[in-house]
């Protein structure tokens, strides 16, 4: 989903040894620093989704063993939210997409 | 009503006309026409202040989710055709769900439960009242629907996760 295009600078080969960069040719769609910031996948409480269903989804999406999945499910149930995973944005977005496919309330947040 | 696994099928037998009708209503209940339902089934992937993420999501991910949800309800609709025979009226009937359709059923039942709850905006007290009679008001019936669909979800989950009771042999 996210489009990662690294900062590209094109230099004029005919330019003098001082190599003046042409700002018009500089393309930068997203700051690399922003992409490197860790993100977290958060699941929010929902009174309708069954506890057993939520546990199954955590096992399927994250490959967590049942005990860990249940721990997260109970944290969602009692505290209203649980951080399921943290890391690079692209992967976090993919996890959130999968969780929404199971109709869970999930968001990505900057850490 | 009796519910059990028989080989590669989940069988709901002795289904009375009232419960059969509730099952027939799963696809219609899952429709996301009202804005409250759309908001729940297609919730935002991030805080609304993350405009870029939310915009990309609307453009690329939401259509995929819509398609996923529709495929699930179509599978369920096809299975429910078994309930639309000539003997629809007053006789108890049987529904057989192939186990490979279990995920579609879980998804469609969840869509329906979430959609009904979004429309009715049930209180926590109502959601904990599992024994309320469906006879009384449309709201009571909707609550019964949410609980009945939840019961089916629990059964399907138990069977697909291998936690179910010993399988009954085919007759």
pLDDT score, position B88: 53
Substitution target in A35, A58, A69, A103 with the highest count of B β-carbons within 10 Å is A103
User: Do B41 and A103 contact (CB within 8 A), yes or no?
Assistant: yes
**β-strand partners of B97:** B10
Distance in Å, alpha carbon of B74 to nearest chain A alpha carbon: 16
**β-strand partners of B3:** B12
Q: How many CB pairs below 8 A link A and B? A: 64
Kindly report the average pLDDT of chain B as a whole number.
Answer: 89
**Residues from chain B contacting residue A46 (CB–CB below 8 Å):** 114
Count: domains in chain B: 1
pLDDT score, position A11: 33
Query: B168 in a domain, yes or no?
Result: no
Specify the 3-state DSSP secondary structure of B108: helix
Query: B43 in a domain, yes or no?
Result: yes
User: Do A29 and A3 contact (CB within 8 A), yes or no?
Assistant: yes
pLDDT score, position A49: 95
What's the Cα-to-Cα distance from B155 to each of A20, A28, B16, B144, rounded to whole Å? 69, 52, 18, 17
Percentage of residues of chain B with pLDDT beyond 70: 90
CA dihedral B84, B86, B91, B97 (to 10 degrees): -30
- For chain A, give every residue range classified as CATH 3.30.1390.10: 37-110
Closest chain A CA to residue B58 = A1
The hierarchical CATH code for the domain A37-110 is: 3.30.1390.10
- A51 pLDDT above the threshold of 70: yes
What's the Cα-to-Cα distance from A33 to each of A26, A37, A38, B54, rounded to whole Å? 17, 7, 10, 20
pLDDT score, position B1: 87
Query: B169 in a domain, yes or no?
Result: no
- Contact: B45, A93; criterion CB under 8 Å: yes
**Among A56, A103, A109, beta carbon nearest to B161:** A56
- B131 pLDDT above the threshold of 70: yes
pLDDT score, position A10: 31
Sign of the Cα torsion A89, A95, A97, A103 reads negative
Please give the distance of CA B18 from its chain centroid, rounded to a whole number.
16
Name the residue range of residue B65's domain: 2-160
- A110 pLDDT above the threshold of 50: yes
**Among A1, A49, A109, beta carbon nearest to B56:** A1
Query: B127 in a domain, yes or no?
Result: yes
Distance in Å, alpha carbon of B43 to nearest chain A alpha carbon: 7
- Contact: A47, B127; criterion CB under 8 Å: yes
Query: B49 in a domain, yes or no?
Result: yes
Confidence of residue B137 (pLDDT cuts 50, 70, 90): confident
**Residues from chain A contacting residue B127 (CB–CB below 8 Å):** 47-48
Residues in A whose CB is inside 8 Å of some CB of B read: 1-2, 46-50, 52-53, 56, 93, 96-97, 100-103, 105-109
ipTM of this predicted complex? 0.89
């Amino acid at each position: 989903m996210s489009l990662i295009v690294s900062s590209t600078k094109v230099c004029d080969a005919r330019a003098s040894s001082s190599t003046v960069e042409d700002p018009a040719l500089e393309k930068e769609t997203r700051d690399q620093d922003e992409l490197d910031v860790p993100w977290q996948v958060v699941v929010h409480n929902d009174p309708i989704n069954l506890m057993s269903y939520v546990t199954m989804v955590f096992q399927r999406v994250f490959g967590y063993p049942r005990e860990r999945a249940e721990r997260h499910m109970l944290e969602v149930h009692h505290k209203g939210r649980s951080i399921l995973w943290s890391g690079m944005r692209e992967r976090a977005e993919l996890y959130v997409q999968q969780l929404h496919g199971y109709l869970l309330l999930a968001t990505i947040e900057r850490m | 009503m009796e519910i059990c696994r028989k080989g590669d099928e989940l069988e709901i037998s002795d289904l009375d006309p009232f419960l059969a009708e509730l099952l027939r209503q799963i696809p219609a209940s899952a429709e996301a026409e009202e804005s409250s339902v759309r908001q729940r089934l297609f919730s935002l992937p991030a805080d609304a202040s993350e405009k870029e993420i939310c915009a990309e999501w609307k453009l690329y991910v939401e259509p995929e989710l819509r398609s996923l949800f529709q495929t699930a309800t179509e599978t369920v609709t096809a299975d429910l055709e078994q309930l639309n025979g000539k003997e629809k009226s007053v006789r108890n009937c049987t529904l057989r769900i192939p186990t490979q359709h279990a995920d579609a059923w879980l998804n469609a039942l969840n869509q329906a439960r979430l959609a009904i709850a979004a429309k009715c905006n049930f209180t926590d007290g109502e959601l904990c009242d599992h024994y309320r009679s469906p006879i009384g008001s449309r709201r009571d019936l909707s609550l019964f629907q949410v609980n009945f669909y939840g019961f089916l979800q629990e059964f399907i989950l138990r069977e697909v996760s291998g936690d179910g009771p010993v399988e009954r042999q085919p007759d």
